[in-house]
Structure 1
């Protein structure tokens, strides 16, 4: 089993206390059927910021925690044991960190002060796991700035955002180096949003239409044509974090399995004495430990400055598939009670189904990333 270093364990304990004091009461509210708003998460968010847990991967010179990947994954794993995790602030595109002048004053400074919220719009209808190849949203320059036309879909956190960072093609050729990033204010008349309900109680993404959406020159973030590279730079850590999320949820499900199996009596004895139940619990524990060891070992490689892109894709794939199996076993052990939204299990059953699709579908990662790496 993988053992975290003492300093990392101290960070995890800090997260555990914030989750216990602020997030678990929210989980109880959600399980009672109460609708939570972004404001409900603010006390936990502020507690995390006061504890130095803001901008987990943001450089320290910008006020961020600047944690190593190992430390970030430990934070994510602990945080995601709760159905209503801390919503950490300070997550930003790498390209935004380096802006200067008016761009810094308009986009970076408000973000660093946590007075503004943003969302990202990359995926398009028909794009899926090939966002660069299928990207057709385009921006053309004129005497007043840029005009954006196109459509995006499956955009998360739009409701809570003040502006959208949209990726659009700025060259004629369908190449990744012809994609740029633009900041579009939410009230821009050329931006039209349609909510798209998803699996999970209250989960909504948005489809965005850009119809002659005008922005000025300052709204082009970073170098023209470097937008997709910026998105890719952020993707590998995200894939690691998806695996850490899977581990946190799986660990909580495992703990719920053990507790329920010991307490629930059926056919003259506790469920924990039934061989089939023991097998499900042991299988879950083994899978969790295997992926935890793999994840942190690969994260150490990344922290040493070595290329871990293949490992990121592998972990995203196996982690998202593992958590689905563990949640399913937990529901099976809980019986009908596991199928109600009065426990976290049904929520996670819905939510984690999508984890095998976003940020690289399992099939794409298996055949276009891992197989290509192994066979070339």
Structure 2
């Protein structure tokens, strides 16, 4: 007896459209539940500190905690499990869906929680904002201010994970470990090496983005890139360009220079930094000014949101639409990649412009439905939707749209 994958719809486009609808419905349901659970936990453990501050600050603290649980248990864990370890152990309990997917999603929560409690408490031995007693149970207003800085800085370890760890897979193709070490050792080698760079980037860019140090009355740090929104705009542009070769680009555009590592990865890194990190935000900023897009909002925030919309579209097309058109539809690699890029940019731009207004009514982004649960906002709200796309494909194998049919091998 064996199994073969079967589609409920022959068309990849139909499968993708139905998958988007399913994922959107799920996102509308799961985030209010997640957020209310997070709020219930932190309002219990941090009751004394929350009562000591004004409601606006208390609300911000609760939102930071909810955001942190999502970043660590969903985004970080997915990157480590799926991209770095290649979903190792996903079918260790069962090969059938949805059992395998449910088990692996549950494991991601454990991985995220474990990673948080390994990294943050160690730093918190000497750094008060990362002290777990202060982060989870601030006793007064001063401790809650410290805890808020700790949560914000630790939450955005997610961006170093994205910008410093994913390129080891997307640009460097896990070289030199892939092919020389067997799973999960190759994943462990990538994890250790990439974590080293992620920690450096976190300390260099993201800790000073939220923590304000003074020595003898003098500021010890300066704000990276001038402001936090500018950092976000840089990161989203950089992310888009280093994801291209792995998310439908079939190694391009960097294979135009070479397919040998580490040169392909290094060239990709330089191009992504220049085109994505600097030129792309500048282009969006000029377009936002020229067409008066999203007036009244920091243009760097709008830039980051529009860039992120293109990223979400790219990843959606890769995971839910199987990089349509595939080789079965178009034999030319160049035509396939160019067609996909046109789809990413055009659909992503439309989605991005719609999102600027639509996020305000969505319960995972800007609408608490009058229930008082924390929402993710204009940027993180897109991640709340994106992660459903990613888990639906990589953990659940698009079940029930794609399912296993038993066959007799005899």
Do these two structures clear the TM 0.5 threshold for a shared fold by scoring above it? no
TM-score computed with the length of structure 2 as normaliser: 0.30
TM-score computed with the length of structure 1 as normaliser: 0.31
Instruction: Flag the structure with higher helix content.
Output: 2
Instruction: Flag the structure with higher strand content.
Output: 1
Larger RCO: 1 or 2 (CA < 8 Å, sep 6+): 2
